[in-house]
Every structure is written in structure tokens, then in C-alpha cells.
A and B are shown apart, each in its own frame.
Chain A
Amino acid sequence: MSTAGPAGGGSDDNDSDDSDFEGGDGRSGGDGFGDSLSNNPNDIMDSLGVDPADVARFDCDITEIGDTKVVDISVELKDGTLISDQKQYEWSNGSYRNNDGISSSQTLGGWSEVSHTSSVASPSVSISGSSTEESKSLDISPEILADIQNRINPDDSSIYTRSTEPWSKDVDPMSANLDMLMLPGLNKADILGNILGGVIGKASIFFGGIFGKALSKGGTKLLEAPKMADHHIFSQQFRNLFKSKGINIDDFTVSIPQNTTHLKGIHGKGFNNLPGQWNSKWSEFIKNNPNATAKDFYQYAGKLMDEYGLSDLPIHPWGK
């Protein structure tokens, strides 16, 4: 299995210098804001020297302060190797420098990469490197733009991004696994403007993982990661019935995103592949099984968890 060797080879200084500027004008090659943020997942892993089959976890986080954006990629391999890749960019007001240092103009503006730090840590090898004053522009290909446009909900201007959260494990996270992030205060034009400004991390969109934050170009609108909620497997509505069977409902909760998964996907009319109406299902079961035992309730709880894709989530006491 390739671990620290190829990962280090793809993320150290020299290699990054070469591949970052592939295509010369900064708008081809990686087709993103760095070789490690290509719109092709395989390219991203390839740029890090990682075999996608070896990846256990992938996170991408983007933060922006004023005209500075920091893109953090974290990859954990199945053998425990941790790869970190961080690039810092500054907005270049519609111009960018290519690898020869020549300034050009472009419609979309661009972000100039000002620093790059990579590290690989495994039980046997540790490699790190950094560079500064590299130049890179952001570009959104028509395919990516169309993909993002298709994710905008015309009703509330929210935008959908893929997710690898375990309750949607049955769906390929690279193709259709969606979660929704609300964009308070943003309208469709804002969102598209943001996309054109290159402010939504393409790695997040294509890898999903955790859509930590999406930021506007001006750095004034910030999207936080979804707030989590502890969902009671045994509904609060039937607390005293479960209690009469010796079930303490506060011993059985799972943590899920509050607004989309919990309030809409679990308790609402449904969301994505979650059918909603959790309490109604309990109510129907209780109505149809007036003599249900504790075992029956536990079995039905397990069935519900399977149905809603919650079975892989750790069960924990309320609030802990």
C-alpha cells in the first residue's frame, strides 16, 4: 500500500511547484485552486500521491478572513497515515500571475496562492514542506457551475452539497448523497456570485465529506457547519409508555445535523433519502401493537434506525 512515500512525493515543495502551474495560465490543468483541489477526486488523491482505495477519511475546510482564504485538506489513510495539506490564497482583483510571473486579467478574478504547507505522518515516516509566493487562480469549469446550479433550491436559495455521513451510507457519496446547508441572508444571485468568485470549495462539493464553510468573496457572509442535535430513538412523545416497559429513552440518542436531518429528514416531511415522520411511525406501531413488550420496542427501534440509515451512528445517552 502506498502511504507516506507517494503522499510525500505529491505534496512536498518541489513537486507542488511543478504541478501547481501546469497549464501556464493557471486556469487549466488542475482546474481549481491548486493541484490538490482539482475537481476530479482521483486527481486530488493523485496530487497527494494517495490511492483513493486507501483513503479512510477526507476533510476539506475553507476559511476566509478579509481577502485571505485558507484551504485545509486532511486525509486519513486506512493504515492510520495522516496527510495534511494547507494552502493560503489572497484575492488578486481579477488578475493573476502565471508560473512565469506574468500578470494577466480574467473575467472571474483569481486567488493568488501565497503559501503552501504539507505534511505526512505515519508510524514510520514524517515528511513536511512549505512554499510561498506561488501564484494560482481559481476557476470554475462549466461542468462544476452547472453542477452547483443544479443544487440550488429555488424555494429558499439553499444549496445542496454531498455528504459522506453514515446515515446515508447506501448512496454513493460521489454521485448523489446530499445534505443541505442553509445560506441565511444569501439569495441565488449571491450564491452564484460566490461560486463565480470561487468561494465554495470544490473539494467539498466533489468530495462532500464535511462541508465546513462556504464563504463569500468579501468575507462578510460565513456559513458554519451544521449544528448537531441529539435525536431520541425512542420518541419523547411516548416517554411514559417506554418507561413502563423499563426503557429509559434518554439512554438512546444519536447525534445528527439539527435543521436538515433532524427537523426535516427525521421529524419533518422528509429530506433527501430520509422519509421523515419518525413519531408517526412510532405512533402507528404502538397503535397496532398494544401489547408490545420491551423486546418488541427495541426491535422496532432497530428497524427504524435501519430505515433511516442511522444504524452506523454511535448510540449515546442524551446530551453526552
Chain B
Amino acid sequence: MKVIPPFKLIPEPLNDEAKNLPPFKWAGDEIGKRHQLGGEPSFIQGDEIPVCPDCKQKMTFYGQLDSINDDYIIADCGLIYIFICFECNEVKAIVQSY
């Protein structure tokens, strides 16, 4: 299983609507800033690395996307985790939340 070097992803607004989105009002400071490419997933509810439906090997963690704000929240400050099998080009996304 390949491991991608870790990158922190920092969202850059592409229009005024995105630029003017209010941040979380009461959530912890890290919420909304956990976007990441590669590295290791920061699982909220524990390890859940899927296996490729084709080759049955563990899939590579490609990245994770955070909740955005109180209007665009994944469950309760959850994250989307994306996995890929570079051999079979299969992808899988899962959600974990508090």
C-alpha cells in the first residue's frame, strides 16, 4: 500500500460567497481546518481503512475533507475520508463524526 506524503490543505475562497461564509461559532478551534492530502487519516472514531473491492488489499489514504461551518457541517463536525487503490483505481469515501 502506497503512503502519500502529508499535505495540509488550506481552502482558498474562489468567490465572494465563499469568502463571506462565517466560520463555526462555537466549535473547537481545529474544526474546519483538518483538510489534508496524504499522510495518515485523523480518524474520529478509530481506524477504518477499507480494502479494495478488487484486489482485497488495504487502500491508500488519499485525503480528508473537513466540515466547513455551521451551515455546511458533516453530522457533528465530522470528516470525509477518501481512499484509493492505485492498482485497481477503485475509490471509497467514508464519514466519521463525533
Contacts and interface: CB of A to CB of B under 8 A. Distances in A.
Interface of A: 184-185, 227-232, 235-242, 258, 262-263, 267-268, 278-279, 283
B59 to A, nearest CB: 14
Contacts of B46: 227
B75 A227 contact: no
Interface stretch (B12-20, B21-29, B81-89): B21-29
Given A185-B53, A239-B28, A241-B26, A263 B95 contact: yes
A239 B48 contact: no
A237 B73 contact: yes
Contacts of B40: none
B27 A279 contact: no
A17 to B, nearest CB: 42
Contacts of B28: 236, 239-240
B68 interface: no
A216 B45 CA distance: 28
Contacts of A262: 75, 97
Contact of B45 (A227, A267, A279): A227
Report which residue of A230, A237, A267, A278 has the largest number of chain B beta carbons within 10 angstroms of its beta carbon: A237
Contact of A236 (B53, B77, B95): B77
Interface in B62-91: 70, 73, 75-78
A236 B31 contact: yes
B23 to A, nearest CB: 12
A283 B98 CA distance: 16
Interface SS, B side: loop
Given A227-B48, A232-B98, 5 more contacts: A236-B98, A237-B24, A241-B26, A258-B45, A267-B76
B48 A237 contact: no
A184 B50 CA distance: 12
A235 to B, nearest CB: 5
A267 B75 contact: yes
A183 to B, nearest CB: 13
Nearest to B75: A267
B27 A237 contact: yes
Nearest to A262: B97
A231 B98 contact: yes
A232 B45 contact: no
A230 B45 contact: yes
Contact of A240 (B27, B53, B96): B27
B28 to A, nearest CB: 5
B57 to A, nearest CB: 16
A185 B45 CA distance: 23
Contacts of B95: 263
Contacts of B48: 227
B29 to A, nearest CB: 9
Contacts of A235: 76-77, 98
